Structure 1
Amino acid sequence: MRWGILVTLGFLALFAGSRQAEAAMLVATVSLSSQTMTVTQDGVLRYRWKVSTARRGYVTPQGSWSAKWLSRDHHSKKYDNAPMPYAVFFNGGYAVHATFDLKRLGSPASHGCVRLHPDNAAEFFAMTASSGLANTRIVIGQ
């Protein structure tokens, strides 16, 4: 009987540990002034990437949001079916997503979304999917 209880408790501990790993807090902090995004997981810096945010005449919203939904192969309904691969939506139609306009990364170029290199967008998308939408925050500031 004791052996069965110990084995059960061991499995429960392993399961609880794996659930905690899945629920890791992921924070993407976007700096509009430096056109960069840092990604931390459980307070540990994992990445620092160049981004493109809103160009003149458009706005990237500032604030803090949890991730709302994911779309691996999204196309914009508002901007001529423009591709938005690996989109992590955080505020209405605003998302962190991949761009193919790589030469403009590091400077404002978007209609308001946060654009990343496709490899980086795929990594952030996977991290968000693993951590969970409720455990992912996107913070945008000057």
Structure 2
Amino acid sequence: MKRSVLLGGIFAMALLGVLSEAKADSLVARINISTQTMTVSRYGEVLYRWSVSTARKGYVTPSGSWRPKRLHRMWYSQKYDNSPMPWSVFYNGGFAVHGTNAVRQLGRPASHGCVRLSTANAATFYALVKEVGMSGTRIVVTN
């Protein structure tokens, strides 16, 4: 009896762990610096692949994996002349995925380090993060 209760408890904990891991990565944004693209997947299914701009020469877009830390429908850069950053998803200090009006620059490095998207695509990504939640979203930046 004790053994079956113990095994049942272990099974339940393992199942909860699997379920929480599935939730943990239900929305993934993969930014590829070398191709200047962002691929958004939900539950492993690719939803979008967009052109982005990451850091231009002299600046860095750090590689790594993060969960979003904060969201702002409109943010103004405190570091770069109050530049507008619509639909900002901050993931690593001052680094964010956000919209830009400089859409002609998309597809090549042009930013101070953030990941720029068209404003419409940034709004779509922002809405997905709001829907899934920051704890269910992962942002992965690779070279």
Summarize deviations over 1:64-87 as a string: whole Å, max 9, x none. Answer: 000111000100000000000000
Give the ranges of 4+ consecutive aligned residues of structure 1 lying more than 4 Å apart after TM superposition.
none
* Counterparts of residues 46-125 of structure 1 (less than 5 Å): 46-125=47-126
User: What is the RMSD of the two structures over their aligned residues, measured on CA atoms?
Assistant: 1.2
Counterpart CA distance in 1 for 2:107 and 2:79 is 24
Summarize deviations over 1:3-50 as a string: whole Å, max 9, x none: xxxxxxxxxxxxxxxxx9xx6710000000000000000101000000
Residue segments in structure 1 that go unaligned for 5+ positions in a row: 1-19
Q: Render the CA deviation track for 1:105-127: whole Å, top value 9, x for unaligned.
A: 00000000000001100000000
Counterpart secondary structure, 1:112 = coil
Where 2:50 maps in the other structure, the secondary structure is strand
Q: Percent identity?
A: 55
Return the TM-score normalized by structure 1.
Answer: 0.83
Aligned equivalents of 2:131, 2:93: Cα separation in 1: 22
Structure 2 CA distance for aligned equivalents of residues 119 and 69 of structure 1: 19
Q: What TM-score do the two structures reach when normalised by structure 2?
A: 0.83
Paired residues, what number? Answer: 121
